[in-house]
Structure 1
Amino acid sequence: MNNKFSYAAVILQWVLNLSLIVLALILVIFLGKETIYIFSFINDGGELSKLELLEGILVYFLYFEFIALIIKYFEANYHFPLRYFIYIGITAIIRLIIIDHESPADTLIYSGAILVLVITLYIANTKQLKRE
């Protein structure tokens, strides 16, 4: 009975790995499109605003971080490090603040969320919790 479950775990691990590889390829394609979008800012004659350029750069870093997370998953023997999720969360909230900064209360709440994530990152990088 235990042997059947180990086969199921192996099959599910393969499905997960293949899915992550497909996701990584899709993210690489979108990263390439975002690179073209960012470099089009130079040649557009001023049609893109600086805010749109900044948003594009932050989206670029989000793609980059997700690809790095998938790479780290395979390097860490099928384990997602917590701190990479925290990095992605911080970048996403910064992007949200830049895009939606009309309400001061919301901006303050987002800043508090970043502070909580930075504190969490500090705690996750202590010697007792660091696995690598």
Structure 2
Amino acid sequence: MKRLTDPKPFKEIMPKVLQMILNVGLTVLALALCVMLIIEMVEFLKFIVGGEKQEYKYFFAKILVFFLYFEFITMIVKYFKEDYHFPLRYFMYIGITAMLRLIIVEHDSAVDTLIFAAVILVLIIGYYIINITPRERPLRKS
């Protein structure tokens, strides 16, 4: 007869419950990002068709925000396709895009621009290191 305080069912059920909560949360987040992406697309089309006089900074900022939404949605799709795993390279893509957005929009200070460029360089070097390391590592024998 099993005791009610037996930890085995808890160890088996709890990860599944937490995974379900995470999946539902990410699905809701993906839907919200899709709505935001559509709103950005509409704003972008209004900008192009309406012929409003806006600064080019505003134009580039809107394009890069669009790509950030797109990358986050893509990352969530990859999470579900790769058996509940976030590929690290997508975080690096998002970081590079975000830093490029900062450089384009906030380029008043040369020191800040240099720091942002250094961050992009570090991210690219990290991405290169990830790509040259083997994905499958042999198991160590103890």
In 2, the alpha carbon distance for the partners of 1:130 and 1:34 equals 40
1:29 & 1:104 partners in 2: Cα distance?
36
Structure 2 residue runs of 5 or longer lacking an equivalent are: 1-6, 138-142
In the alignment, structure 1 residue 109 sits paired with structure 2 residue 109: no
Count, aligned residues: 131
TM-score with structure 2 length normalisation?
0.87
Q: 4+ runs of 1 displaced by more than 3 Å?
A: none
1:62 aligns with 2:65: no
> Hey, what's the Cα distance between the residues in 1 that align with 2:136 and 2:63?
30
Secondary structure of 1:73's aligned partner: helix
Q: Is the 8 A contact 1:124 1:130 kept in 2?
A: no
Identity of aligned residues (%): 47
- The answer to whether structure 1 residue 43 and structure 2 residue 33 are counterparts is no
Pick the structure with greater CA Rg. 2
Aligned residue identity for 1:74 = F
For residue 2 of structure 1, the aligned residue among 2, 8, 15 is 8
1:71-119: CA deviations, max 9, x gaps? 0000010000000000000000000111111110010000000000000
* Counterpart AA for 1:93: M
Partner amino acid for 1:59?
A: V
Q: Give the superposition deviation at 1:2.
A: 2.5
Report the residue type matching 1:11 in the other structure.
V
Q: Hey, what's the Cα distance between the residues in 1 that align with 2:101 and 2:73? A: 18
Cα deviation for residue 130 of structure 1 reads 7.2
Aligned-partner Cα distance in 2 for 1:11–1:121: 33
SS at match of 2:132: coil
Give the residue type in structure 2 aligned to 1:48.
Q
Deviates more, 1:2-11 or 1:52-61: 2-11
Question: In the alignment, residue 121 of structure 2 is paired with which amino acid?
Answer: L
